A = this chain, B = another copy of it.
Amino acid sequence: MQTVSPCVTCPHRDQGFCGTLMEKRLEESSAQQRANWQHHRIVPAGKQIATRNEVSEDVFVLCGGWGFRFFQLPDGRRQILNFLLPGDLFAATSVFEQRFHFSVKALTEAQVSGMRREEVQARLDANPRILMALAESCAAESEAADKSLTALGQYSAEERIAHLLLHLMRRIAARSVIREQRYPFPLRQQHIADAVGLTTVHVSRIFSLFRDRGIIVVSDGILTVVNLPELERIGVLN
């Protein structure tokens, strides 16, 4: 599980929270912050940050805001692979690949940090704790991918949406203190639809259903969980 801590590598850290284990390990190995092998930028909401098949010398971390990783199909369909929260690497495997196999967009205004891949790899060799942290990220991503696959293959619409919400809630709670079951929630229904393989219309109906049954309410970018046990009953696989 991830712990709450301010962003250590990002110069914009006063504006948000990062602090994954991977990031901490990298920082540990580096004497000076804001070294010249890192760069940072702020991107507006909706802006595409990375494109499939694009070559990059950098490994990216989302330092602030939300983003998402996705595949775009030629006919316009889009699959959102996962959502990126502060502290997340775009993908753990991108430390070893110079080409993105996915695209990334900013969901809100976001802070993105890039680190030279060869520098990251050099630190990997020098410090086995970084390698271990990276291996853990890989394993966590792989397990999350397997769970998403199960959700899309086996779950009904209600189950998929409940599952997505619970998964996001756990990740948000690991990064900031949650009071009264109110979670920041910048997703549009279109994002949910593209993540769980439904249409926006159907997502809206399920949300209405949940609202009417007193399970959750979404408004003003805030997700309020009214009946957590019921949400878990619907959405927890195992």
Residues on A lying within 8 angstroms of B by beta carbon are 71, 73-74, 77-79, 81, 91-93, 95-97, 101-102, 125, 128, 132, 135-136, 138-139, 141-143, 145-150, 152-154, 194-197, 237-238
Contact = CB atoms under 8 A, between A and B. Distances in A.
Nearest to A153: B197
A195 B154 CA distance: 10
A150 B224 CA distance: 29
Contact of A237 (B73, B132, B141): B73
A79 B154 contact: yes
Contact of A197 (B73, B81, B95, B152): B152
Given A96-B136, A238-B74, A145 B143 contact: no
Contacts of A147: 71
Contacts of A237: 71, 73
Nearest to A140: B93
B93 A153 contact: no
Contacts of A145: 142, 145-146, 149
A135 B93 contact: yes
15 contacts: A71-B237, A71-B238, A73-B150, A79-B149, A92-B142, A93-B143, A95-B135, A96-B135, A96-B138, A101-B139, A101-B146, A138-B142, A145-B146, A149-B152, A153-B194
